[in-house]
Amino acid sequence: MPIPFIMPKMDMDQEEVVIDQWLKNEGDTVEKGEPVIIVETDKITSEIEAPAEGKLARILYKENQVVPVTQVVAFILKEGETEADLPHVETADDETQQDTHQSKSAIEGKPISATSLAKRIAETEGFDLREVPAVGEKITKEDIDAYLQTRCKIKPRVESPATPAARRFALAHNVDLKTVEGSGPRKRVQASDVLNAVQQMSHKTPDRQSTATKLEPLQLTSMRRRIAERLTASYQNIPHIFLTVEVDISRAEKVRKQLNQKASTKGFPNISITTYLVKVISVCLMRHPFLNAYLKDERIHFWEDAHIGIATALEDGLIVPVIHKANKLSIHEINRQVKTLSQKAHEGSLSREEIQGGTFTISNLGMYGINSFTSIINQPQSAILSVGAIKRRPVVVDDEDSINVRPLMNLTLAADHRIIDGAIAAHFLVDLKDLLEDPEGVINSG
Amino acid sequence: MPEITFRQAIHDALVEEMRRDSSVFLIGEDIGTYGGAFGVTAGILDEFGRDRVWETPISEETIVGSAVGAAIVGMKPIAEIMFMDFLTLVLDPLANQAAKVRYMFGGKATVPMVVRMPSGSGTGAAAHHSQSLETILMHIPGLKVVAPSTPYDAKGLLLSAIRDPNPVCFVEHKLLYKTKGEVPNGEYTIPLGVADIKREGTDLTIVTSEIMVHKSLSAAEDVSKEGISVEILDPRTLLPLDVDTITNSVMKTGRLLVVHEAVKTAGWAGEIMASVSESPAWDYLDAPMRRLTGKDVPIPYNRFLERAAVPQEEDIVREIQAIVSNQY
């Protein structure tokens, strides 16, 4: 077999050389190691030596022609060999023809331009050069390397790199790992990334809620603003104390029933529980002047009469019409005023006088079923009474521990501790309880 | 508690058990008059005489082979291989006989013997006298492999090893002999197969043994100043391995580093990591498990190269920092 004269690769990244000059012609005898070709690379010119001793045959590349490295450029015939022994080799022309042929048959009709080395790799590796994207004009070995790398890249089973702990958290918190930016190496999602994402999600949830309720901010009405200011000032300035007492109103109910029977025969309206309370409280306040007083300029000022305010809920706020000099009014007169003022309150037709000058307030939430509650003192008063619902409950009624079911009502007094100590408040409240539980004297008094 | 050296703790365990149990005897090279290559058996010959302290010619196969025979017939030999490197000479009696007898005789014969073997580098003893070959032993079912790191563990584990009805390889790192630690007076045992947390932490679990426990403890102390909390877990017994304690710790910290002096390839770090992979702790890992081990080379004689061949404190510090800061 004739020995192929192969163009050696002189540099790691070298792909081709230009034949500068053949120092020997076809038919010349060469010694092994004798310079035969002078080639040019981008860096230098070099002498290429004969790989063996023999006769130079079939020069495949002419001077000034570009030769891919590792390509056979000629053959050396050993002693006794002739040109007939030479194998068939594709010439550069053949390759060009093949290129043309390929380009014609290419589906996209685009001619393939590739270096010979690239072509050879494609042939050896068995893939289609048309699949290889080229960076420059020609497909190079680098292009093929890049292509092969992407082609061989394993498609991972899971799309997002994440630590096992991160995956566990993602599963537990129902977080899509693809939505989480990984802080780990190669953008790997760490457990802390998932937890941060969860936290952000939980922050977003109230955001959404506030958007939902963020319809239109409600401008405070002047009434609402005044309520807000006054109650804030009261609660901030007055040290409140609260006392609660339970009142058995079975006798009061009986009295009220009798009154109502009489009233109906006279065509009077029914006596309400509020009326009843106003009456009894006004009497009681006369016995306990500190509860019917106020603090101003380091003095305690006492009122001569009991002017009882009745906290009345309105659709958009709260108003406190006043029964003036309640201590001097009959229960029927009080009842009349209570009803009139209540009606006016709801109509919004209360006069200035009708809401001024209160010395004590009662607030009744019993009709809502509230057992007991506390109220904020209505300045400049010094006490307010919170009235709970009347409910029938079992109660010990004598020293024999007998239990009866009685209508019971909780009263909670809020008092200004600056002028009313607990004992004073207690005396008032217990006195009030006694009067309410034994009402005949009070009611009949007026 | 009195503080004694690792060497003294092993010495005391040997003496106490020889006094307690007359079937216990020592066999090895230079363990009598000379007191052993590392002085562990100094003075034992004087107390117990030549019937209990057998000094042999330089033939490790004879030492272990005789011990196996003696154990099968009811004695409790404690053999000493002067250097663990000579393990390769005794693999037949140890791996092919001692480890199998109990199984092959259906439990009717037991081999209650201990082979003590000083291991490890750091003494300039070069390639023939510096290896850590415990993984070879771990690969043989029927053997137990104990590798203590403190005097307390050494004494308690050695007593358990001597009383165990199976062949137990007792690995003693040479650099530990002079280290000191508190050891209570009197008898106590530590069960084989139970790991010990040498330092509690929350950010990273280091599983390590022998001298590397101490290097890891120093490294953990170093990085604690950066706010890194390292848990250090010493298996103490490498075979059987206390996998539960290891996986529990990894579940707590989410990160694992195994440090051993034995070479990396097919070293026991791989076994620990594989066990964690198979356990529920896998789901708790928040970083790749890592190992810091001896390099895959024979231990060099040159002291700089010898130092470079096995993990040092600064290497452990770097590795902890890298793992905790998500560099892997």
> What structural domains does chain A harbor?
3-89 (2.40.50.100), 93-152 (no CATH), 164-213 (4.10.320.10), 223-445 (3.30.559.10)
Tell which phi-psi region holds residue B266, choosing left (phi > 0), alpha (psi between -120 and 50) or beta.
left
| pLDDT tens column, B69-104 | 999 999 999 999 999 999 999 999 999 999 999 999
Q: Which positions in chain B touch A165 (Cβ < 8 Å)?
A: 254, 283-286
Note whether A255 and A342 are within 8 A (CB): no
Asked if A185 lies within 8 A of B286 by C-beta distance, the reply is no
Question: 3-state DSSP call for residue A177?
Answer: helix
Give the CA count within 13 Å in the CB-facing half-sphere of A118.
Answer: 24
Task: State which residue of chain B sits closest to A184, comparing Cα positions.
Answer: B326
| pLDDT tens column, B285-308 | 999 999 999 999 999 999 999 999
The pLDDT value given to residue A174: 87
Q: How far is B276 from chain A (nearest CA, A)?
A: 12
Q: How far is A172 from chain B (nearest CA, A)?
A: 12
Task: State which residue of chain A sits closest to B284, comparing Cα positions.
Answer: A165
Q: What is the mean pLDDT of residues B150-159?
A: 98
Identity of the residue in B286, B327, B328 whose CB atom sits nearest the CB atom of A191: B286
Q: How far is A152 from chain B (nearest CA, A)?
A: 24
Asked if B327 lies within 8 A of A185 by C-beta distance, the reply is yes
Asked if A164 lies within 8 A of B326 by C-beta distance, the reply is no
State how far the Cα of A171 lies from the Cα of A174, in Å rounded to an integer: 5
Task: State which residue of chain A sits closest to B255, comparing Cα positions.
Answer: A165
Note whether B90 and B140 are within 8 A (CB): no
Domain range annotation of chain B: 3-182, 196-324
Q: Is the dihedral of CA A280, A281, A283, A288 positive or negative?
A: positive
Q: What tokens were used for B145?
A: 């492999």
The pLDDT value given to residue A151: 64
The pLDDT value given to residue A212: 54
State how far the Cα of B194 lies from the Cα of A330, in Å rounded to an integer: 92
Asked if A184 lies within 8 A of B326 by C-beta distance, the reply is yes
| B196-324 has the same fold as B3-182 | yes
Task: State which residue of chain B sits closest to A170, comparing Cα positions.
Answer: B283
Asked if A185 lies within 8 A of B326 by C-beta distance, the reply is yes
Give me the CATH topology for the region B196-324. Rossmann fold (3.40.50)
User: How many other β-carbons are positioned within 10 Å of the β-carbon of residue A205?
Assistant: 9
Q: Which positions in chain A touch B287 (Cβ < 8 Å)?
A: 163, 184, 190
Asked if A184 lies within 8 A of B282 by C-beta distance, the reply is no
> Phi, psi (5° rounding) for residue B290?
-130, 160
Greatest CA separation for chain A: 156
Asked if B286 lies within 8 A of A164 by C-beta distance, the reply is yes
State the first-to-last Cα distance of chain A, in angstroms, to the nearest integer: 145
Residue A197: its H or E element: helix A191-213
Asked if A185 lies within 8 A of B328 by C-beta distance, the reply is yes
Q: How far is A186 from chain B (nearest CA, A)?
A: 9
| pLDDT tens column, A95-133 | 444 444 444 444 444 567 888 888 888 777 777 777 777
Q: Which positions in chain B touch A164 (Cβ < 8 Å)?
A: 282-286
Cα dist. A155→A17, A125, A158, A179, B231 in Å? 39, 21, 9, 20, 37
Asked if A191 lies within 8 A of B282 by C-beta distance, the reply is no
Q: Which positions in chain B touch A185 (Cβ < 8 Å)?
A: 326-328
Q: Which positions in chain A touch B284 (Cβ < 8 Å)?
A: 164-165, 168
| pLDDT tens column, B260-269 | 999 999 999 9
Asked if A164 lies within 8 A of B287 by C-beta distance, the reply is no
Note whether A446 and A335 are within 8 A (CB): no
Q: How many CB pairs under 8 A join A and B?
A: 31
| Residues of B known to be catalytic | 60, 129
DSSP state of B26: E
Q: Which positions in chain B touch A184 (Cβ < 8 Å)?
A: 287, 326
Identity of the residue in B283, B287, B327 whose CB atom sits nearest the CB atom of A168: B283
The pLDDT value given to residue A119: 81
Note whether B29 and B63 are within 8 A (CB): yes
Asked if B286 lies within 8 A of A190 by C-beta distance, the reply is yes
Note whether A429 and A409 are within 8 A (CB): no
Identity of the residue in A165, A167, A185 whose CB atom sits nearest the CB atom of B254: A165
State how far the Cα of A436 lies from the Cα of A256, in Å rounded to an integer: 11
Identity of the residue in B254, B282, B326 whose CB atom sits nearest the CB atom of A183: B326
Task: State which residue of chain A sits closest to B252, comparing Cα positions.
Answer: A165
Q: How far is B281 from chain A (nearest CA, A)?
A: 9
> Phi, psi (5° rounding) for residue A2?
-60, 150
> Phi, psi (5° rounding) for residue A410?
-95, 135
Q: How far is A195 from chain B (nearest CA, A)?
A: 12
The pLDDT value given to residue A71: 87
Residues of chain B that touch chain A, judged by Cβ-Cβ distance less than 8 Å: 254, 282-287, 326-328
Identity of the residue in B282, B326, B327 whose CB atom sits nearest the CB atom of A190: B326
Identity of the residue in A165, A185, A192 whose CB atom sits nearest the CB atom of B285: A165
Q: How far is A66 from chain B (nearest CA, A)?
A: 47
Closest by alpha carbon to B259, among B313, B199, B212, B196?
Answer: B212
Helix A422-437 vs helix A250-266: crossing angle, to nearest 10? 50
Q: Which positions in chain B touch A177 (Cβ < 8 Å)?
A: none
Q: What is the mean pLDDT of residues B9-31?
A: 97
Task: State which residue of chain B sits closest to A190, comparing Cα positions.
Answer: B286
Q: Which positions in chain A touch B286 (Cβ < 8 Å)?
A: 163-166, 190-192
The pLDDT value given to residue A92: 47
Identity of the residue in B285, B326, B327 whose CB atom sits nearest the CB atom of A164: B285
Asked if A191 lies within 8 A of B254 by C-beta distance, the reply is yes
| pLDDT tens column, B99-126 | 999 999 999 999 999 999 999 999 999 9
Q: What is the mean pLDDT of residues B1-29?
A: 97
Residues of chain A that touch chain B, judged by Cβ-Cβ distance less than 8 Å: 163-168, 183-185, 188, 190-192
Task: State which residue of chain A sits closest to B251, comparing Cα positions.
Answer: A165
Q: Which positions in chain B touch A161 (Cβ < 8 Å)?
A: none
What is the assigned CATH class of domain B3-182? Answer: alpha beta
State how far the Cα of B171 lies from the Cα of B194, in Å rounded to an integer: 16
Q: How far is B93 from chain A (nearest CA, A)?
A: 44
Closest by alpha carbon to A334, among A307, A374, A356?
Answer: A307
> Phi, psi (5° rounding) for residue A393?
-135, 150
pLDDT tens-digit profile, chain A (446 residues): 888 899 888 777 778 888 888 999 888 999 988 899 988 876 677 889 998 899 998 888 888 888 888 888 999 998 888 888 887 655 544 444 444 444 444 444 456 788 888 888 877 777 777 777 777 778 888 888 777 766 655 566 666 788 999 988 888 888 888 888 888 888 889 999 999 988 888 776 555 445 555 667 777 777 788 888 888 989 998 999 999 999 998 888 888 888 888 877 877 778 888 888 999 999 999 999 999 998 888 888 899 999 999 998 887 788 899 999 998 888 888 988 999 998 888 888 888 888 888 999 999 998 888 999 999 998 889 999 999 999 999 988 888 888 889 999 999 999 999 999 999 999 999 999 998 888 777 776 65
Q: Is the dihedral of CA A233, A236, A241, A246 positive or negative?
A: positive
Task: State which residue of chain A sits closest to B287, comparing Cα positions.
Answer: A163
Asked if A190 lies within 8 A of B283 by C-beta distance, the reply is no
Q: Which positions in chain B touch A167 (Cβ < 8 Å)?
A: 283
Q: Which positions in chain A touch B282 (Cβ < 8 Å)?
A: 164
Q: How far is B236 from chain A (nearest CA, A)?
A: 28
Question: 3-state DSSP call for residue B134?
Answer: helix
The pLDDT value given to residue A204: 62
Q: Which positions in chain B touch A163 (Cβ < 8 Å)?
A: 254, 285-287
